[in-house]
């Protein structure tokens, strides 16, 4: 039986919002392949590129450039950031609803709906504030955890037609930081020009990763209390 949700207990992953101006400030959901629980994650090929590593080391939030995927025409975006903290600390920030509410623009409510006793998965409900043009969005996503390196997700109910993606956390060789990768695909389920979907995702997702970095590197406890 599902537990009664509360807004203060750790939740699965961050969900999101979309609107005509800002499609995904809060679209944080997580997916793709799985790792063995005891194995560290390997970086994606695009992030491992020396030029990308240099940009990350310089403090840039890097968004991958690629052609639109015909299988996912509405909007798929990949981005990465380097955060000066170990994976476990970042994992806590990403999966804690209280902190998510502080650094994910538009996220108004985050609640755990159900989950495994061993913490291997959770179902999480999000409520996101639209722009004045559109109503509030509510949806539930299923997140699979490989702590503290990977989170996989997919939308299972609610207002979004489709949402899936990945969080991948890879500690740097010197142990001084973690490269956080985020990939998301979203189909809102109502008509919005394809170019606007992609452009909005590419604009807003870096803002979310920058907010996560600020929350982790400065004061996660203060972030959770906002």
Domains of the chain by start residue, with CATH: 45-225 (3.30.530.20)
Q: Quick check: 27 pLDDT over 50?
A: no
CA distance 57 to 82: 7
Q: Residue 148: is the preceding peptide bond cis (ω within 30°)?
A: yes
CA distance 144 to 125: 15
For 125-170, how does the pLDDT look when each residue is reduced to its tens digit (9 = 90+)? 999 775 554 567 789 999 999 999 999 999 999 887 888 899 999 9
The mean pLDDT value of the chain amounts to 75
Residue 170: per-residue pLDDT? 97
Sign (positive or negative) of CA dihedral 123, 3, 18, 135: positive
> Can you list the positions of beta strands (E) in the chain?
62-63, 76-83, 107-115, 121-128, 137-146, 150-158, 162-171, 178-187
Q: Quick check: 47 pLDDT over 80?
A: yes
Residues 6+ apart with CB under 8 A from 49: none
pTM above 0.85, yes or no: no
Q: Which residue has the higher pLDDT, 70 or 214?
A: 214
Beta strand pairing call for 162-171 and 178-187: antiparallel
Residue 104: per-residue pLDDT? 81
CA distance 145 to 226: 26
For residue 101, give the H/E element and its range.
helix 97-103
Q: Quick check: 220 pLDDT over 90?
A: no
Contact 27, 16 (CB under 8 A): yes
- pLDDT, average across residues 63-79: 63
Identify the residue whose tokens are 């409520």. Answer: 127
For 109-124, how does the pLDDT look when each residue is reduced to its tens digit (9 = 90+)? 999 999 999 999 999 9
Indicate the pLDDT class of residue 207, thresholds 50, 70 and 90.
confident
For every residue of 103-133, DSSP letters joined together read HSTTEEEEEEEEE-TTSSEEEEEEEE---TT
Tokens coding 17: 């919002």
């Amino acid at each position: 039986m599902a537990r009664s949700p509360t807004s203060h207990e750790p939740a699965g992953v961050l969900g999101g919002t979309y609107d005509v101006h800002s499609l995904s400030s809060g679209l944080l959901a997580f997916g793709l392949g799985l790792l063995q629980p005891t194995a560290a994650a390997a970086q994606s090929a695009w992030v491992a590129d020396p030029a990308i590593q240099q940009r990350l080391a310089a403090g840039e939030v890097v968004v991958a450039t690629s052609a639109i995927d015909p299988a996912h025409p509405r909007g798929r975006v990949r981005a990465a950031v380097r955060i000066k903290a170990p994976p476990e600390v970042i994992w806590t920030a990403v999966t804690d609803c209280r902190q998510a509410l502080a650094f994910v623009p538009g996220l108004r409510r985050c609640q755990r709906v159900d989950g495994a006793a061993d913490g291997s998965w959770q179902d999480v409900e999000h409520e996101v504030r639209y722009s004045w043009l559109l109503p509030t969005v509510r949806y539930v996503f299923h997140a699979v955890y490989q702590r503290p390196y990977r989170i996989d997700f997919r939308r299972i109910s609610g207002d979004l037609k489709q949402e899936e993606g990945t969080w991948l956390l890879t500690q740097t060789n010197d142990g001084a930081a973690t490269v956080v990768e985020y990939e998301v695909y979203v189909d809102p389920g109502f008509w919005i020009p394809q170019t606007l979907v992609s452009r909005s995702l590419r604009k807003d997702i870096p803002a979310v990763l920058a907010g996560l970095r600020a929350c982790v590197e400065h004061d996660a406890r203060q972030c959770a209390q906002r």
